Amino acid sequence: MRIGIPKEIKSGENRVALTPAGVIELRALGHEVFVTQGAGTAAGFSDALYLQAGAILCESVASIYDAAELIVKVKEPQVQEYAFLTNRHCLFTYLHLAANRSLTNALLASGASCIAYETLTDTHGRLPLLAPMSEIAGRMAVQAGAHHLEAAQGGKGVLLGGIPGVAPASVLILGGGVVGANAAAMAVGLGAQVRVMDKSIARLRYLDDLWRGRVICEYAVQERVNACAIAADLVIGSVLNTGASAPKLLNRQLIRQMEAGSVLVDVAIDQGGCFETSLPTTHQDPTYVDEGIIHYCVANIPSAVGRTSTLGLTNATLAYILRLADEGLTCLKYDAGFRAGLNIHAGQLTHSGVANSFGLLAKDPLALL
């Protein structure tokens, strides 16, 4: 199969979808790999490394789409890429369609088969391709929050871990999944007072067993969420409804009651955000102030550590890329977890979470494949 790795053109995006080592694996099985010149530079992978791995370098993103059948990316296609996709393409990337109707419409019109990393599941119902980026985003959410609590960044001037005689900062993490668990680990490591709230007793029990009192694990009833948010210095939103829009956990009226200079980090912004006041930001301009509260809502947090993210992503995606290259879409027929990644096929929505976000009905992917 002819596999294309376009250079990511989303603002502030430093990742690339495949390392040179991944190219070697595909070439060993006889597949052709086309890579845009400079695609891996920001992640520390030179064109020379891709050439040594056996890739064919192309001058432009458009030429990648022309040459390849399987397009493997990191982020969703940008507006200038919409016209490149056709019904002969299979697109494999993060899509987050529930927060982007115009992209959804463009992909439907293209006729391409679009598989989203973030809805693909394994045999245990977990999200294996979302997990590595969630791990990074959770850890970086705490780093970003700690930085923006500094007075020079407009924060209230609180040190996350405090010092002897001065209480540490209060960190509230909404959602105890992969993002939340990694955020808790980082916040505990920095010495903060940490509370995780979730609606899954099983997940809270797991985190409580792990931290044995070092992290407060509390069931997320809205009254308690509100009270804890008002008292927190840093709130990290890390909830996920697979494929669907994120629920709004804090409304504007509640945020108005928080202490000025507190920080909200919305890791769910790719899915529309979990705070009513959340708007997408970029690494170049990561924050804004609304109701006196600093909002950090960068939509591609892991891009800040592009090399680590690229290595982690390739580790997770390569086995799936190899299957698509060897078998094409046939592999989705016999693997329900892989098939759960299919969001769009033959001009139809095939994921119920995405369809529900737009008030539409999803088609059964098995009936279309």
CA distance 160 to 145: 9
β-strands 170-174, 113-116: how paired?
A: unpaired
The mean pLDDT value for 340-352 works out to: 96
Class of residue 326 by CB neighbours under 10 A (exposed 0-12, middle 13-18, buried 19+): middle
pLDDT at 270: 86
Average pLDDT over all residues of the chain: 96
Cα separation, 22 vs 4, whole angstroms:
12
- Angle between helices 131-148 and 306-327 in degrees, nearest 10: 160
Q: Is the pLDDT of residue 181 over 90?
A: yes
Res. 318 pLDDT band, cuts 50 70 90: very high
11 pLDDT higher than 90:
no
The 10s digit of each residue's pLDDT in 57-111 is 999 999 999 999 999 999 999 999 999 999 999 999 999 998 899 999 999 999 9
Question: What is the pTM for the complete model shown?
Answer: 0.91
Q: How do beta strands 215-219 and 348-349 pair?
A: unpaired
How distant, in Å, are the alpha carbons of 73, 97, 192, 297, 344 from that of 52?
Answer: 21, 36, 46, 38, 35
What percentage of the chain reaches a pLDDT higher than 70?
100
* Catalytic status, residue 96: yes
Which DSSP letter does residue 168 get?
P
Give the number of other Cβ atoms within 10 Å of residue 28's Cβ. Answer: 10
DSSP states of 240-287 as a string? --TTSPPP--B-HHHHTTSPTT-EEEETTGGGT-SBTT---B-SSS-E
* DSSP string for residues in 331-342: HHHT-HHHHTTE
The C-alpha atoms of residue 268 and residue 88 are separated, in whole angstroms, by: 32
Residue labelled with tokens 């829009």: 245
pLDDT tens figures, 263-277: 999 999 988 899 999
pLDDT of amino acid 85: 97
Domain 2-127+306-368 fold: Rossmann fold (3.40.50)
The answer to whether residue 202 scores a pLDDT higher than 90 is yes
- Please name the amino acid found at residue 123: T
Q: What angle do CA 249, 252, 255 make, to 5 degrees?
A: 80
The one catalytic residue in 96, 148, 295, 351 is 96
How do the domains of the chain map onto residue ranges? 2-127+306-368, 131-299
Give whole-number Cα distances, 88 to 2, 44, 62, 112, 164, in Å. Answer: 12, 32, 15, 6, 63
Mean pLDDT of the 312-334 span? 97
Residue 270 is among the residues annotated as catalytic for this protein: yes
Q: What secondary structure does DSSP assign to 19-60, as a single string? A: -HHHHHHHHHTT-EEEEETTTTGGGT--HHHHHHHTPEEESS
pLDDT (tens digit per residue) in 186-196: 999 999 999 99
Q: How confident is the model at residue 246 (pLDDT cuts 50, 70, 90)?
A: confident
- The reply to whether domains 2-127+306-368 and 131-299 share a CATH topology is yes
3-state secondary structure 195-226: EEEECCHHHHHHHHHHHCCCEEEEECCHHHHH
Angle, CA 322 vertex, CA 315 and CA 91 arms, to 5°: 90
Secondary structure class of 354 (helix, strand, coil):
helix
Q: Which CATH class is domain 131-299?
A: alpha beta
Chain centroid to CA 326: how far? Answer: 27
Distance (Å, whole) CA 25 – CA 278: 41
Q: CA 292, CA 263: separation in Å to the nearest integer?
A: 9
Marked catalytic residue, from 198, 233, 266, 270: 270
19, 45 Cβ separation under 8 angstroms: yes
What's the distance, Cα to Cα, between the start and end of the chain in Å?
19
